[in-house]
Amino acid sequence: MSFINRLMLGWFMARRRSRKKPTRRRTRSFNVLNAAEMYLQTNVLTQGFAGVNPITFVTGQEYSTSYTPGMAPGGKGGITTGGFSYRPGAISVTIPELLGVGSANVGDGIDMLVRNGKDNWLNMIVGTVGVKAGFAIAKKITSKQRSFINNQVMKPLGLKSMVRV
């Protein structure tokens, strides 16, 4: 059979069936330990760049305390009050400030983010490596306990498909 005949025959022949790829198992449950690690990694970065925790960075609500001098019985005194408030222009930077919410101008905090990044880059690297190493060690050490919780506690409660430790 000539090359041309084989080539023509190849065009009209049915294609060889390939095997179906096996479906991969995927757990759809929420892993609490991975969520804690992610939050701490995010906290290291937001503390380094913005000077606040991730929740404050997103909401813009910072906790502040104020001290009012005064005399209380016994000669000592003062009133300390605290609460959450939005304070644009403070040392910290939040997303509402970057977007220009309230009295802040759009992009005012970008210079502060860059400056904080330059000042805190080493602390952020050490913190990121420390969190990653700490969780890797903690996951190895507590694997049997976490397995017990997942299989003996969560499974009978019917929560294993939703939450893992």
Query: DSSP letters of 84-137?
Result: EEE-TTSSS--HHHHHT-TTPPTTTTHHHHHHHHHHHHHHHHHHHHHHHHHHHH
Q: Is residue 6 part of a domain?
A: no
pLDDT at res. 100: 79
Q: Is residue 135 part of a domain?
A: yes
Q: What is the arithmetic mean of pLDDT over 108-136? A: 93
Q: Is residue 10 part of a domain?
A: no
Q: For the packed helices 32-49 and 110-141, what is the interaxial angle rounded to 10 degrees?
A: 150
Q: Is residue 17 part of a domain?
A: no
Domain span at residue 73?
28-164
pLDDT at res. 112: 85
Comparison of pLDDT for 6 and 56, the residue scoring more: 56
Q: Is residue 74 part of a domain?
A: yes
Report helix, strand or coil for 162: coil
Across the chain, what does the average pLDDT equal? 81
pLDDT at res. 149: 94
Number of domains in the chain: 1
pLDDT at 68 over 90: no
Band the pLDDT of 47: cuts 50, 70, 90: very high
Which residues lie below 8 Å from residue 102, measured CB to CB, with a gap of 6+? 86, 88, 96
Could you give phi then psi for residue 88, rounded to 5 degrees? -70, 150
Q: Is residue 80 part of a domain?
A: yes
Q: Is residue 12 part of a domain?
A: no
Measure Cα distances from 122 to 44, 117, 119, 153 in Å.
11, 9, 8, 42
Q: Is residue 1 part of a domain?
A: no
Residues 124-136 pLDDT 10s: 999 999 999 999 9
pLDDT at res. 70: 59
Band the pLDDT of 45: cuts 50, 70, 90: very high
pLDDT at 146 over 90: yes
